Amino acid sequence: MTGPRRVVVVGADAVGMGAAHQALRTAAKRGESLAVTALEASSHTSYSACGIPYWMAGDVDSGDDLVARTAAEHRDAGIDLRLGTEVVAADLAARTVTTAAGDVLEYDDLVVATGAPAVVPDWARRPDGRTYDGVGVVKTLDDGAAWVSSFAEAGPGAHVVVVGAGYVGVEVAEAALERGFGVTVLTRTRGMAMLEDEMSDLVNTGLVDAGVELVLGAEVTGLEVDGDRVTGVRWDGGTREADLVVVAVGVKPATAFLENAGLDGSGLELTEDGALRPDPHGRVADHVWAAGDCCEVRRRIDDEWVFRPLGTHAAKHARALGDSLAGGDLSFDGMVDTSITRFSSSGVHLEIARTGLSRTDAEAAGLDPLALVTEGTTAAGYMPEAEPIAIWVMADRTTRRLLGVQVVGGRGAGKRIDTAAAVLWAGGSVDDLAWMDLSYAPPFATTWEVLQIAARRVADRL
Amino acid sequence: MTGPRRVVVVGADAVGMGAAHQALRTAAKRGESLAVTALEASSHTSYSACGIPYWMAGDVDSGDDLVARTAAEHRDAGIDLRLGTEVVAADLAARTVTTAAGDVLEYDDLVVATGAPAVVPDWARRPDGRTYDGVGVVKTLDDGAAWVSSFAEAGPGAHVVVVGAGYVGVEVAEAALERGFGVTVLTRTRGMAMLEDEMSDLVNTGLVDAGVELVLGAEVTGLEVDGDRVTGVRWDGGTREADLVVVAVGVKPATAFLENAGLDGSGLELTEDGALRPDPHGRVADHVWAAGDCCEVRRRIDDEWVFRPLGTHAAKHARALGDSLAGGDLSFDGMVDTSITRFSSSGVHLEIARTGLSRTDAEAAGLDPLALVTEGTTAAGYMPEAEPIAIWVMADRTTRRLLGVQVVGGRGAGKRIDTAAAVLWAGGSVDDLAWMDLSYAPPFATTWEVLQIAARRVADRL
């Protein structure tokens, strides 16, 4: 090899570029150089997809605010960034990728950071495959710009139907309420199905209290349309007129370009859903690396691979990948299934967070879980800051190990999940959580922090 | 012994009564019975002393709101509660205590829960030993009632001098500002001396921005008085006219009644400052137990005994004590030196928290600490919720063990300390803190949670 090592990054969003910058930093520290080329199908790079619902709500003024690093910043760092360049095929044996324009690029190392586009069900599409006018997903900056513009055009009294009640569905419901629209949320299962039933019920109640029409167990069967424009949504139990329909039913790894890349014998495998399973250094096969939403992540508690397309895992894995690719040894040692969101509109403010296993996960892992919900307050009961909080704590009867915690409550409730996540990270017991030295002052907690009261109640019953 | 075991509790505030109730619960579970007598010098029981500054500020309407359990509730549980009953002596060999009224009570088990009254320096006292009018401490419900009444009487334009800039000093400064008074804070050392210099400077700046006159390094030398009433404060560098003077210079264990109790050979020892050092079950000698502010607590990180009179340790130790006294095995396995407060008034909102060792502690323990301050935001920078936060992280160069974290920042900053406390509790490394799975969504955190950015910066330099 005569020149510097050639690294081709497919997908130049936050993960790909995070990995690229880290690789360049580590290489520079080691006195080596890399030639990094980054290929991005869209015209955007390094933005916060998680911020889009808040742009839709009006909390964020401009899509530019969501851009963490501009194309110019990447190029200034020496990265050959090519926007509007879709990769359609790869050859792992020949170490090449092929773009939609027919260009073939050779690589010494390939970084797959293609993410996971939002799923668009058939019912949302016109015969020509495009979505009906007024229908869309919430994933890219272009999606965000389209929604901001649709929201501005929709007059007062417009009605928004949100299909899906996961994180994005709940955040978009907030955005639509904040814009003054009527809102219907349809979900095939429950609201926030990543929570246990009793916690998800609290979210459902909050949505309804804020004026959302919430329909649980609704399987969407089709749209009502007028020409190319949506006018309503049909589901197995009813219909609703709609000016706008937001589809938030999940995402799927963008790894189709690898399917005919010569996987046999390459060491690289795709799951049934098309996901990659990189090791802690981001390696998926010789000279092939991956991180972010196109990957599953390892859950430390039960050592299972799960699909959790979240920016925070992605950023950590990208850093480990970039460092390892350049000869470092940083590693991403899995996660404990922590996530958080909020629903805040129309006088309702709910912070919603979870970490660890669900009861179903625990039973699948052969554990013997005991779980309880405890209600309390986020501050001393006599303080104006005190808001209600409900905490679900699950531990194993045999080992007393903490297995999972979920939180739904007012201001100050959500970030408490991090303390539980730290205990799970360390493999600690419910007694650790109950007795450890957490902070107390009246504006912040009860004398026994409510997380600890919740843990103590479980500990007492094990 | 013919009747039930006789337990005498000296001091019937939250700790003593918490221990008593737990002992009764554990005894009941074991099918045993206890005869519990609780002796309390004041007329109050089981209240939150920590809430008093917020009552002074007007956040809490009434002192009754601070009472966790009333005398009637204690008596209903079968406790012989005697208010206005001061214990002046004990005889550990004879197992008796003597009250100020001369009554002698026999015990089988003695629980010392006398707490730590506020220190009143000589300069605050009249020749007859009482404090001058307008001068007082902030410790008991009676203190609180007196301040609420003094604050109400003081006209607009009144000036309050607070002596001491620890937790209570800062909280009282907030209260006085909230009541519309001019405020001077005098401190012998720095503001919030439990923080490292660079963090304490942020608190100083906040106090000054809110309009507080802050005088650092001020040794109070005396008061200006008009008859029995204070009119000003003198210190080594100046004077200030004052309508009210709040003395917040610390507390001291109330263990004088034990000094002549026959300590030699009893196994019971008092530190030079009069503190007790109970074991994890609250035992200080055969048949003698103690918890709360009259005790030091063991800091797990360096295995040192330190005096940290905080309600949250007290409540935990009281529970372990009550359970152990009645034959259970709950234990209070020390703390990691976590504490929190806030300063919020006049457009300034600072959340102030610490956990773990100071640099001085670490050096005294023979460790090789590296510490850095990192600035960031509590939420994604583009969100309206984003507030500045500064985080000091210290780790050991040799072992990479996390040693201490301090936080000063806006809304949402303070409770982040619990995550660091959880890592310290488990003896984790700065890498654990940097890489663990903490929650992220734009209203709550940056993609790399700011605590993790701060930990990563230290990890990179070890």
How do the domains of chain A map onto residue ranges?
Answer: 5-117+252-325, 122-247, 350-461
> b/e map of A108-120 (b: 16 or more CB within 10 Å)?
bbbbbbbbbbbeb
Edge-first strand listing for the sheet containing B159-163: B135-136, B244-247, B159-163, B182-186, B213-215
**Per the structure block, which two tokens stand in for A141?**
């900056």
Q: What is the mean pLDDT of residues B223-230?
A: 97
A442: closest CA among B174, B359, B164?
A: B174
- The reported pLDDT for the residue numbered B155 is 82
Q: Given B51, B353, B448, which is nearest A439 (Cβ)?
A: B353
Task: Report yes or no: A242 at the B interface, CB cutoff 8 Å.
Answer: no
Distance of CA A95 to the CA centre of its chain: 31
Task: Report yes or no: A445 at the B interface, CB cutoff 8 Å.
Answer: yes
CB A164 within 8 A of CB A216: no
Whether A441 and B167 lie within 8 Å, measured CB to CB: yes
- The reported pLDDT for the residue numbered B141 is 94
Whether A312 and B438 lie within 8 Å, measured CB to CB: yes
Q: What is the mean pLDDT of residues A120-131?
A: 96
Identify the band that residue B2 occupies on the pLDDT scale cut at 50, 70 and 90. Answer: low
* Helices marked H in B71-140: 71-76
- The reported pLDDT for the residue numbered B462 is 94
In angstroms, the Cα distances linking B256 to B84, B252, B260 are 18, 10, 8
Contacts with A462 from chain B: Cβ below 8 Å: none
Task: Report yes or no: B441 at the A interface, CB cutoff 8 Å.
Answer: yes
Identify the band that residue A156 occupies on the pLDDT scale cut at 50, 70 and 90. Answer: confident
Task: Report yes or no: A310 at the B interface, CB cutoff 8 Å.
Answer: yes
A111: closest CA among A11, A3, A251, A28?
A: A11
SS3 category, B348: strand
Whether B447 and A60 lie within 8 Å, measured CB to CB: no
Q: Given B65, B342, B436, which is nearest A421 (Cβ)?
A: B436
CB A19 within 8 A of CB A111: yes
Backbone angles phi, psi at B234, to 5 degrees: -110, 140
In angstroms, the Cα distances linking A329 to A36, A118, B449 are 20, 33, 22
Q: Given A415, A422, A443, which is nearest B444 (Cβ)?
A: A415
B115: closest CA among B210, B242, B257, B325?
A: B257
Task: Report yes or no: B306 at the A interface, CB cutoff 8 Å.
Answer: no
Nearest-CA residue of chain A relative to B428? Answer: A426
Q: Which helix (H) or strand (E) holds B403?
A: strand B402-409
**Per the structure block, which two tokens stand in for A152?**
């501005």
DSSP state of A131: B
A30 to chain B, minimum CA–CA distance in Å?
15
B425 to chain A, minimum CA–CA distance in Å?
6
**DSSP character string of A245-274:** EEE-S-B----GGGTTS--TTTS----TTS
- The reported pLDDT for the residue numbered B181 is 98
Task: Report yes or no: A50 at the B interface, CB cutoff 8 Å.
Answer: yes
Taking only the tens place, the pLDDT of each residue in B269-309 is 999 999 999 999 999 999 999 999 999 999 999 999 999 99
- The reported pLDDT for the residue numbered A28 is 96
Taking only the tens place, the pLDDT of each residue in A437-462 is 999 999 999 999 999 999 999 999 99
Nearest-CA residue of chain B relative to A313? Answer: B437
* Amino acid (1-letter code) at residue B321: L
Is the complex ipTM more than 0.90? yes
Question: How many other C-beta atoms are found inside a 10 Å radius of the C-beta of residue B189?
Answer: 14
Looking up tokens 């959340």 gives: B351
Taking only the tens place, the pLDDT of each residue in A77-88 is 999 999 999 999
Mean pLDDT of chain A: 96
Taking only the tens place, the pLDDT of each residue in A350-381 is 999 999 999 999 999 999 999 999 999 999 99
Q: What is the mean pLDDT of residues B18-35?
A: 97
Q: Which 359-388 residues of chain B touch chain A by CB within 8 A?
A: 380, 382-384
CB A141 within 8 A of CB A125: no
Contacts with A415 from chain B: Cβ below 8 Å: 412, 415-416, 439, 444-445
Task: Report yes or no: A419 at the B interface, CB cutoff 8 Å.
Answer: yes
Equal fold, A5-117+252-325 vs A122-247: yes
Q: What percent of chain B is modeled with pLDDT above 90?
A: 96
**Per the structure block, which two tokens stand in for A191?**
């609201």
**Per the structure block, which two tokens stand in for A414?**
């959500």
Farthest-apart Cα atoms in chain A, separation: 72
**Per the structure block, which two tokens stand in for B352?**
């102030």
> Is the model's pLDDT at B362 over the cut of 70?
yes
> Is the model's pLDDT at A1 over the cut of 60?
no
In angstroms, the Cα distances linking A400 to A83, A370, A433, B230, B423 are 52, 10, 11, 58, 19
SS3 category, A335: strand
CATH of domain B5-48+63-116+252-325: 3.50.50.60
The number of CA neighbours under 13 Å toward the Cβ of A356 is: 32
> Is the model's pLDDT at A239 over the cut of 60?
yes
- The reported pLDDT for the residue numbered B317 is 97
- The reported pLDDT for the residue numbered A147 is 97
A391 to chain B, minimum CA–CA distance in Å?
16
Q: Which helix (H) or strand (E) holds A456?
A: helix A450-461
In angstroms, the Cα distances linking B232 to A335, B238, B244 are 59, 11, 8
Q: Which helix (H) or strand (E) holds B203?
A: helix B197-209
> Is the model's pLDDT at A194 over the cut of 60?
yes
- The reported pLDDT for the residue numbered A2 is 66
Q: Where are the beta strands (DSSP E) in A274-420?
A: 283-285, 288-290, 297-299, 304-306, 339-345, 348-356, 369-377, 388-396, 402-409
Whether B337 and A437 lie within 8 Å, measured CB to CB: yes
**Per the structure block, which two tokens stand in for A99?**
């773009």
Domain spanning A5-117+252-325, CATH architecture: 3-Layer(bba) Sandwich (3.50)
A59 to chain B, minimum CA–CA distance in Å?
6
Angle between helices A311-325 and A14-29 (to 10 degrees): 30
Q: Which helix (H) or strand (E) holds B214?
A: strand B213-215
A240: closest CA among A185, A180, A315, A287?
A: A185
SS3 category, B337: coil
* Amino acid (1-letter code) at residue B360: T
- The reported pLDDT for the residue numbered B291 is 97
A311 to chain B, minimum CA–CA distance in Å?
6
Q: Are strands B283-285 and B244-247 parallel, antiparallel or unpaired?
A: unpaired
Assigned superfamily of A350-461 = FAD/NAD-linked reductase, C-terminal dimerisation domain (3.30.390.30)
* Amino acid (1-letter code) at residue A169: G
Whether A422 and B417 lie within 8 Å, measured CB to CB: no
Domain B349-461 has CATH 2.10.70.10: no
* Amino acid (1-letter code) at residue B195: L
Q: Where are the beta strands (DSSP E) in A83-203?
A: 87-91, 96-99, 104-106, 109-112, 135-136, 159-163, 182-186
Whether A441 and B341 lie within 8 Å, measured CB to CB: yes
Backbone angles phi, psi at B38, to 5 degrees: -120, 125
Whether A439 and B415 lie within 8 Å, measured CB to CB: yes
- The reported pLDDT for the residue numbered A387 is 98
Taking only the tens place, the pLDDT of each residue in B78-94 is 999 999 999 999 999 99
Whether B415 and A417 lie within 8 Å, measured CB to CB: no
Whether B432 and A425 lie within 8 Å, measured CB to CB: yes
- The reported pLDDT for the residue numbered B27 is 97
Contacts with B424 from chain A: Cβ below 8 Å: 437
Domain spanning B122-247, CATH architecture: 3-Layer(bba) Sandwich (3.50)
B426 to chain A, minimum CA–CA distance in Å?
7
Mean pLDDT of chain B: 96
Whether A437 and B313 lie within 8 Å, measured CB to CB: yes
B392: closest CA among B382, B378, B407, B379?
A: B407
CB A261 within 8 A of CB A252: no
Task: Report yes or no: B332 at the A interface, CB cutoff 8 Å.
Answer: yes
Identify the band that residue A3 occupies on the pLDDT scale cut at 50, 70 and 90. Answer: confident
Burial class (CB in 10 A: 0-12, 13-18, 19+), A361: buried
Contacts with B417 from chain A: Cβ below 8 Å: 439
